[in-house]
Structure 1
Amino acid sequence: MAKLDVLNVTFHAKLGTQGERVARIRALAKELAPVVGADPALVDRAAVLAKADLRTEAVGEFPELQGLMGRRYAVLQGEHPSVAAAIEDHYKPQGPSDRVPDDKVAITVALADKLDTLVGFWAIDEKPTGSKDPFALRRAALGVVRILLERGVRLSLLDTFARRLLGRSIAPAERAVVFATSTVDIVSSVLSVSRDSKGEWESFRSVFADGSLLSFFHDRLKVYLRDQGARHDIIDAVLTPEADDLLMVARRAEALTAFITSEDGINLLAGTKRATQLLAAEEKKGTVVADGVSEELLRLDAEKALWNAITTASKEASEAVAGEDFRSAMQALSRLRAPVDRFFEEVLVNDEDTAIRANRLALLKAIREATATVADFSKIAG
């Protein structure tokens, strides 16, 4: 272990020695262990030993044996089987056809290793460009995506980036600021990143500005889901710029795929598209849309029925989403189908009375907001 530092084993000139890297992986793995559900003591031991075999003559002669030799040495030394497995498996998956670790200790160290690498290279602005990816960062990100989805791990990527870069998690209010403004000065103020420290400032800017690293993960997720047979429009409908729990994105996509191929889904999609397109056209023209629906201005039975249906469906869908039951959320929304159809059959949206017109447009806005709890239906083809 000492050789990882004293014999000048450099990981990268700007990211320090392998020994320093092990210290970072160890710290991040400690944070990730409870998320994965792994034994923290075994995770710590595996993180400490993960890179030790890089200084052995066997790996020096045959670099492709990294991890494999470490596992052998760990078994001979009497280490716990999970620790020995993690030393080999934390490098996995190496590509789209490679196996994904299944031991929770190995999963934790694999995530810590890959995420440390990705945040580190983003922080020093060494990102892949075009076909050039000398540090295999696309492979590392796809590895994280595969581990999260194939092993069912719930992880906030933004929180993990912050823990690695800022030494702490970020609160919901801070997350909101990150995505509500493109002004990095405001974001840095909220996250307490000092512009006086040029290195810290530039590192922060590279990782968080414009969702830089998160966008990179989104691109890898799209590739993975398309390879699994998901439609590109379905992925776009559920993938928002701030979505950093990739497992939940995949589950939304799966539920939405099943829903829109059902009769209720097909009909609801048609109704909501009509509502959102009409609303968008009026918004573009500058037509006044009421801030909220006023029940006193609902004159016709069809619009009253629609408002009642929206109120009920929104509540049920929101509760289902909070419980991560996306199928039930879409089932709740499907009950809008009949009232939406009736509304368009019996109600003239562009009434001569401006107040009534603004209120009816607010009804359409309420449809858009209700369905948005699950997905952006306007992005779905058909």
Structure 2
Amino acid sequence: MASLLIEIQTEELPPKALDNLSKAFAKELTFSLKEQDLALPNAQVTAYGSPRRIAALISDVSEVAPDKPFRQKLVPVKVGLDAEGKATPALSKKMKALGIECEPSELKVVNDGKQDQLVYEGTKAGVSLKDGLQIALDHAVRRLPIPKVMSYQLENGKTVEFVRPVKHLVALFDKEIVPVELFGLKAGRETMGHRFHVKEPISIKEAEKYAEQMEKEGKIVASFEERKNKMVGELKSAAEKLNAEIIMPDDLVNEVAALTEWPVVYESGFDEEFLTVPAECLILTMQQNQKYFALRDKNKKLMNRFLLVSQIEAKDGGEAIRSGNARVVRARLADAKFFYDQDRLQTLESRVPGLAHVVYHNKLGTQLERSERVQKIASRIAEQIGADPALARRAAKLAKADLRTLMVGEFPELQGIMGEYYAHHDKEDDKVALAIREHYQPRYAGDELPSTPESLAVALADKIETLTGLFGIGQLPTGEKDPFALRRHALGILRMLIEKELPLSLDKLIAIGTEEESVVPGVKDATEELKQFFHDRLRVMQKDQGFTAHEVESVIGSEPAILADVPKRLKAVHDFMSLPEAESLAAANKRIENILKKNTLPLADAVDPALLTEKEEKDLYEAIRTLEPKLEADYKAGRYEDELRSLAPLKAPVDAFFDKVMVNAEDEALRRNRLTLLNELHKAMNQVAKLSCLAS
């Protein structure tokens, strides 16, 4: 056994897909080799990926797979043998197709329950590495997650498809070449090193030395992770020397690591005059257009210095690289400054009418029409949560105006952010400016929530308008498809209502959105579907917090009006379940619900004590009456844990009642009174949560 190396050397691979491509290639190649018993089940695999290659090193690979016992059902005896016991053409054809060579007399006869079958039992020779690797290579190439396939022509004129044209194929079993082929190329040991530093091909001596040889002779760090870590270490070191904090979003780090074979970090800068442009614009310009790493000083203020990653070790110490990149970034930043200066020549308010030319949805109108709906919704929500309705309405009016600016046209990621800057320039109220920025929040899981009541009002309005409108025209998310990010909008609303402890019920919020959306022709009332959608998201949220499905269902099943109560109720239910009486009380509640569901008698407004004939029903009635004031006080004060703990003494009278009292008595008056007693018990016990959901 030995290690196996496969490398596919190509033209420049798509950087955002490189890491996934290299990992998938290694995984699929190893899977196929293990399936063919050419690699041990615990064989280790190392994935390599750099701008012009994907490779895999697999340990514990055999030159030939072990032979295996082989059993194959062929054809029924009456079909496979003639009267003299010789093979018929049907049997001969079947055996030839399967590569079986033996006399008919060597075959076994096995009855499958219907008829006698001819069965071959023997040993199947293990596949050779040459043949098995070809199968594995073809399998792995077909299974790669290629974002966009490229067609290209081979030297023989044949057209093939792959992520990029393949230049070299390396296949080494220890030190020996494995004769496989791919896209018209025969495997060898030669590959190409660094595009600029190494001109001649590199001959890989042995599989295990691949990474070491590529680094020493080829000036390539073959491992994506090692190269990324090396790059990040050098970036941090360079930033430290400048006494600066480096801005390194993961996406940018991964992309730059996929663009470089031999990362070398250089420092450069730009004119201080550009620092008058909002920092977000400069950072985005540097990151998106040039793949630079921006720097902040210790006061979090953007510096006019940046770091760049090259893959050239410059002989002049990098002076030409620094000055060249400074010239390039200057042109980019000049564009950003031009956009910013031009945008401020018009107020946000003057841009609002232009939203009439921006289509929101062909069934829901333009962004201007949508803006008018959001304004009304924001004003009404503001009244409910203690925000200033006028400021919320003003912010909602201006919230989408920056969509008409040059800066947001160039960088859509800056919508809201630029709106805040331009609102301050227009001397709008600070709360209005902040709400324009924050109304998109939370943009993703874990994102910050809007910070002021006015921002919350506009953010809630923006999201509930989207949900009620799209649900109203039947544009619901299905399966994994959610093109309008409705799940994200719903989770954002739930987080705001819960984490900000807003005194606004989900029902009221949906009602406000639905009422304002009803002015749009063709939009139907989707309240029930939307409510279910929110509850489904809420279930997921709370299960992610560690609560059980039964606990979550008990709280959501009680439909609390104020969602800020949900975490408190869930904690109370969780603690309640640790009581020895909990299981019995939950089961009793389930029994009560079943009895009340089957009942057809109209219940009385209150229990008539004169109709309580049995000791056990009298005891239960007194227990409820004694406990009700405390339960009510605890519930109103939000002491949910105390309220649920107070239910424990009810176990004994409830159990006794069900043991001794016939609820469905023949006397109708007695039956109605006992059902009314159970109904009152159910109401008293289920204010915090629907306890029947906790029954196992």
From 555, 562, 566, the counterpart of 1:238: 555
Cα deviation for residue 240 of structure 1 reads 3.3
Instruction: Note if 1:38 corresponds to 2:358.
Output: no
Cα deviation for residue 28 of structure 1 reads 0.8
Q: Which residue of 1 aligns with 2:404?
A: 55
CA contact 1:269–1:377 (8 Å) conserved in 2: no
1:195-234 correspondence runs (5 A): 203-205=523-525, 207-208=526-527, 211-234=528-551
CA contact 2:623–2:653 (8 Å) conserved in 1: yes
Cα deviation for residue 364 of structure 1 reads 4.2
1:1-382 correspondence runs (5 A): 1-6=349-354, 8-167=357-516, 203-205=523-525, 207-208=526-527, 211-240=528-557, 243=560, 245-261=562-578, 263=579, 266-274=580-588, 276-277=590-591, 280=594, 293-343=607-657, 347-350=659-662, 354-355=666-667, 358=671, 363-382=677-696
CA contact 1:272–1:368 (8 Å) conserved in 2: no
Relative contact order, higher structure (CA 8 A, sep 6+): 1
Distance across 1 between alignment mates of 2:386 and 2:662: 56
Cα deviation for residue 335 of structure 1 reads 3.5
Distance across 1 between alignment mates of 2:603 and 2:403: 65
Higher helix share: 1
Distance across 1 between alignment mates of 2:632 and 2:543: 27
Aligned CA RMSD, in angstroms, stands at 3.2
Q: Which moved more, 1:236-245 or 1:56-65?
A: 236-245
CA contact 1:71–1:85 (8 Å) conserved in 2: yes
Distance across 1 between alignment mates of 2:391 and 2:471: 29
Distance across 2 between alignment mates of 1:114 and 1:222: 19
Counterpart secondary structure, 1:11:
strand
Any gaps of 5 or more consecutive residues in structure 2? 1-348
* CA separation of 1:381 and 1:52: change in aligned 2, threshold 3 A: same
Q: Which moved more, 1:332-341 or 1:98-107?
A: 332-341
Distance across 2 between alignment mates of 1:15 and 1:288: 48
CA contact 2:587–2:695 (8 Å) conserved in 1: no
- Counterpart amino acid of residue 463 in structure 2: K
- Counterpart amino acid of residue 214 in structure 1: K
CA contact 2:614–2:661 (8 Å) conserved in 1: no
* CA separation of 1:89 and 1:279: change in aligned 2, threshold 3 A: closer
- Counterpart amino acid of residue 126 in structure 1: Q
Cα deviation for residue 234 of structure 1 reads 1.3
* CA separation of 1:83 and 1:353: change in aligned 2, threshold 3 A: closer
State the number of aligned residues: 344
Distance across 1 between alignment mates of 2:634 and 2:429: 41
Distance across 2 between alignment mates of 1:103 and 1:37: 10
Counterpart secondary structure, 2:360:
strand
- Counterpart amino acid of residue 689 in structure 2: A
- TM-score with structure 1 setting the length: 0.78
Distance across 2 between alignment mates of 1:161 and 1:281: 34
Cα deviation for residue 217 of structure 1 reads 0.7
Cα deviation for residue 278 of structure 1 reads 7.1
Q: Which residue of 2 aligns with 1:182?
A: none
* CA separation of 1:375 and 1:72: change in aligned 2, threshold 3 A: same
* CA separation of 1:250 and 1:77: change in aligned 2, threshold 3 A: same
Counterpart secondary structure, 2:357:
coil
Cα deviation for residue 125 of structure 1 reads 1.5
Per-residue CA distance 1:196-246 (angstroms, 9 max, x = gap): x9x76x6334x13xx111111111111111112222211211223865532
* CA separation of 1:304 and 1:19: change in aligned 2, threshold 3 A: same
- Counterpart amino acid of residue 524 in structure 2: F
Cα deviation for residue 290 of structure 1 reads 7.6
Distance across 2 between alignment mates of 1:45 and 1:220: 31
* CA separation of 1:41 and 1:369: change in aligned 2, threshold 3 A: closer
- TM-score with structure 2 setting the length: 0.45
Indicate the structure (1 or 2) with the bigger Cα radius of gyration. Answer: 2
Any gaps of 5 or more consecutive residues in structure 1? 169-192
Distance across 1 between alignment mates of 2:515 and 2:370: 16
Q: Which moved more, 1:356-365 or 1:92-101?
A: 356-365
Cα deviation for residue 320 of structure 1 reads 3.9
Distance across 2 between alignment mates of 1:348 and 1:340: 10
* CA separation of 1:104 and 1:50: change in aligned 2, threshold 3 A: same
- Counterpart amino acid of residue 618 in structure 2: K
